[in-house]
Amino acid sequence: MSAVNGAGHSSTSKATDQDGSSVPGFQPQNKMTVQPPRGEDLQVSYAAEIGGEANPKGWYGSMINNLGACIGTCGAIPCCILCPNPYKHVNQGHVGLVTKFGRFYKAVDPGLIKVNPLSERLIQVDVKIQIAEVPEQTCMTKDNVTLRLTSVIYYHIVSPHKAAFGISNVRQALVERTQTTLRHVVGARVLQDVIERREEIAQSIGEIIEDVAAGWGVQVESMLIKDILFSQDLQDSLSMAAQSKRIGESKIIAAKAEVRLLLSWQQRRLLHRRTFSFF
């Protein structure tokens, strides 16, 4: 495999097996190095507490809140199995959203969190990059050709509170939006464009989805078109068209060869006549 180094010179790198013979295929340019975990490699901090008083006014809310605190204190004792444990853990790659009496009031980072067993609830939101595979979609191009497309979306949640409380199902919403946009974008292009400009179409769809997903607290990393499937009749038609094109090109090449041969024969005949007429 040929590569150009920093000095501008071309170098060839080949891998060898145990017998010393070269092994074809991709070989990494850099040697394997161990990368220890760093703080900046982990997720960013989402910990925040929104303004306003979380504790409700009135004797009932105060009573439930104080009673939950007492029950939580008893539940924190390992031997006490009758009371719920107030300590919950938030896994790495998730963000904890704490609600009090149904109202969201703070977000917490991964780790051990204490919640009131009676008045508070902990909701974990996955903020890792997610992969959503869009089911096979039937689309019709501008020149009335029916295609079946499969695609995939890479996204991650950047506003956990919007994704948790602003929409019921982020994953389903992205898939449904992608299917609708896919039909719209493919329907505005001819078959040749869909085949040759797959990445451009995927980029256009990703840009349209990104604007909508931002309101859901989601950032779309990329959108890819995996497969373009044709019907059997269309495959036969494309195969026959390609075969006819090859046959036509071969006939043209044969005709040009015959013309060149005829011109060469005429030139030799004319030269032969001139030679005899000279003598």
CB 165 within 8 A of CB 104: yes
Let me know whether 94 and 136 are in one domain.
Answer: no
Query: Which of 215, 230, 245 lies at the terminal end of a domain, its last residue?
Result: 230
Let me know whether 96 and 164 are in one domain.
Answer: no
The strand ranges marked E within the chain are 2-4, 10-12, 15-16, 22-23, 48-49, 87-90, 94-100, 103-108, 111-114, 120-126, 130-140, 146-157, 218-229
d(CA 38, CA 54): 35
Q: Quick one: the chain helix, strand, coil %, rounded to 5?
A: 40, 25, 30
pLDDT for residue 218 is more than 60: yes
The Cα-based distances of 198 to 141, 145, 182 in angstroms read 13, 16, 12
Minimum mean pLDDT range among 14-18, 94-98, 146-150, 266-270? 14-18
Task: Tell me if 17 is assigned to some domain.
Answer: no
CB 227 within 8 A of CB 149: yes
Domain span at 145: 130-230
pLDDT at 146: 84
pLDDT for residue 275 is more than 70: no
Let me know whether 185 and 213 are in one domain.
Answer: yes
Let me know whether 225 and 156 are in one domain.
Answer: yes
pLDDT at 226: 87
Task: Tell me if 58 is assigned to some domain.
Answer: yes
pLDDT at 267: 77
Mean pLDDT of 229-236: 68
d(CA 255, CA 253): 5
Let me know whether 110 and 175 are in one domain.
Answer: no
Task: Tell me if 179 is assigned to some domain.
Answer: yes
CB 201 within 8 A of CB 225: yes
Task: Tell me if 7 is assigned to some domain.
Answer: no
CB 171 within 8 A of CB 132: yes
CB 122 within 8 A of CB 88: yes
Mode of pairing for the β-strands spanning 218-229 and 87-90:
unpaired
Minimum mean pLDDT range among 50-64, 76-90, 231-245? 231-245
CB 151 within 8 A of CB 130: no
pLDDT for residue 254 is more than 80: no
Let me know whether 149 and 107 are in one domain.
Answer: no
Name the pLDDT band for 52 (thresholds 50, 70, 90). low
Task: Tell me if 79 is assigned to some domain.
Answer: yes
Name the pLDDT band for 15 (thresholds 50, 70, 90). very low
Let me know whether 181 and 213 are in one domain.
Answer: yes
d(CA 166, CA 140): 33
pLDDT at 21: 52
Mode of pairing for the β-strands spanning 15-16 and 10-12:
unpaired
d(CA 59, CA 8): 78
pLDDT at 14: 46
Task: Tell me if 260 is assigned to some domain.
Answer: no
Query: Looking at the 3D structure of the chain, how many domains does it have?
Result: 2
Minimum mean pLDDT range among 52-66, 84-98, 142-156, 176-190? 52-66
Minimum mean pLDDT range among 49-58, 70-79, 101-110? 49-58
Name the pLDDT band for 72 (thresholds 50, 70, 90). confident
Task: Tell me if 236 is assigned to some domain.
Answer: no
Name the pLDDT band for 217 (thresholds 50, 70, 90). very high
CB 90 within 8 A of CB 113: yes
Mean pLDDT of 72-84: 82
Mean pLDDT of 219-227: 89
Let me know whether 155 and 108 are in one domain.
Answer: no
Query: Which of 80, 96, 125 lies at the terminal end of a domain, its last residue?
Result: 125
pLDDT for residue 133 is more than 70: yes
pLDDT at 152: 92
Q: Which amino acid is at 22?
A: S
Name the pLDDT band for 3 (thresholds 50, 70, 90). very low
CB 120 within 8 A of CB 67: no
Mean pLDDT of 249-272: 77
Task: Tell me if 75 is assigned to some domain.
Answer: yes
Domain with residue 202: its CATH number is: 3.30.479.30
Let me know whether 78 and 118 are in one domain.
Answer: yes
Let me know whether 187 and 108 are in one domain.
Answer: no
pLDDT at 238: 61
* Length of the chain, in residues: 279
pLDDT at 177: 92
Let me know whether 78 and 106 are in one domain.
Answer: yes
pLDDT for residue 2 is more than 70: no
